[in-house]
Amino acid sequence: MKMIVCRDYAQMSRRAALHVVTAIANNPTAVLGFPTGDTPRGMYRELINLYNDCGLDFSGITVFNLDEYAGLAPNDPGSYRGYMLENLFRHVNIPVESTFCPDSLCEDAELECRRYEKLISESGGIDLMVLGIGVNGHIGFNEPGNDFIDCTHLVELAPETIAANSRFFPSMDMVPRRALSVGIGTIMRSRAILILASGAAKAEAVQKALQGPVTPGHPASILKMHPDVSWVLAEGAESKLIQHQPGRS
Ligand code: F6R
């Protein structure tokens, strides 16, 4: 496990972009897993700058989104498909047919989840999975619970996630209550994982993930079991980590 504490959000975004660029440079046909939310916006901006200024080539990569709200049309401004278009896809040369998101309007969620999981494995699996973390320790939309769920599945979002997501919608009533999300197994089967957290509001979730027990009650804690995880933290997300001093128990 690697951990980098950055000076600020801008530096975190540059470090994260560098990580993605390295993955693409090492493998121009890399399969990437990408999150939405506020945390990765700066990373996407950096990637767009690298495309415009340095010719970073996205034409060979494949992107799988971590999750999508159930029942929200892909052209809804609150949808994650819409988010990815606005924040990355329409600014770079990634072919639309190489970008995937769970189908939010599917009639049969179970079938759709199986289809999405199969698409990921048929693409050869995820080379680099980029994650954010929820205030309750969720990754993707794997909410705290009694079990780690392996594959893509339909999720009832936790009240704290609905509250946190309400900032992206005009009113609380409009915040989706359900989502389709890749599973913990989907994440753990990725060859490498990059996880970003910015802000003191994430400090407790980060501390429990890095220094607490591995438990489905705090889904990000499972990342300790992965051989190639990099945490990039900023703006106080590291502030609750307990410093272990040499020679003291
Ligand atoms: C979104 C996702 C979530 C977010 C998390 C943090 O695709 O998978 O796990 O990464 O909720 O969201 P922000 O970055 O908005 O704090």
Q: What is the pLDDT of residues 112-134, one digit of tens each?
A: 999 999 999 999 999 999 999 99
Structure tokens at 162: 């609905």
Q: 55, 23 in Cβ contact below 8 A?
A: no
Residue 174 pLDDT greater than 60, yes or no = yes
Positions annotated as catalytic residues are: 67, 136, 138, 143
pLDDT digits (tens, 9 = 90+) for 194-248: 999 999 999 999 999 999 999 999 999 999 999 999 999 999 999 999 987 666 5
Q: What is the pLDDT of residue 247?
A: 60
Q: Compute, in degrees rounded to 10, the torsion defined by CA atoms 201, 188, 113, 147.
A: -70
pLDDT digits (tens, 9 = 90+) for 156-167: 999 999 999 999
Closest approach atom of ligand 1 to CA 39: 14
**Cα of 37 from ligand 1 centre, angstroms:** 5
> b/e map of 108-141 (b: 16 or more CB within 10 Å)?
ebeebbeebbeebeeeeebbbbbbbbbbbbbbbb
Q: 220, 139 in Cβ contact below 8 A?
A: yes
Q: What is the pLDDT of residue 249?
A: 42
Which whole number is the average pLDDT over 96-125?
Answer: 97
**Cα of 236 from ligand 1 centre, angstroms:** 17
Q: Is the CB of 138 within 6 Å of ligand 1?
A: yes
Q: Find tokens 């409009």 and name the residue.
A: 174
Return the best residue to mutate from 141, 155, 235 for the ligand 1 pocket (most ligand atoms within 8 A of CB). 141
Atom 2 of ligand 1, residue of closest alpha carbon? 140
Q: Is the CB of 38 within 6 Å of ligand 1?
A: yes
Q: What is the pLDDT of residue 72?
A: 92
Q: Is the CB of 137 within 6 Å of ligand 1?
A: no
Q: Is the CB of 67 within 6 Å of ligand 1?
A: yes
**Cα of 246 from ligand 1 centre, angstroms:** 35
**Cα separation of 47 and 45, whole Å?**
5
Q: 243, 15 in Cβ contact below 8 A?
A: no
- The mean predicted confidence, pLDDT, of the chain is 96
Atom 1 of ligand 1, residue of closest alpha carbon? 36
Q: Is the CB of 39 within 6 Å of ligand 1?
A: yes
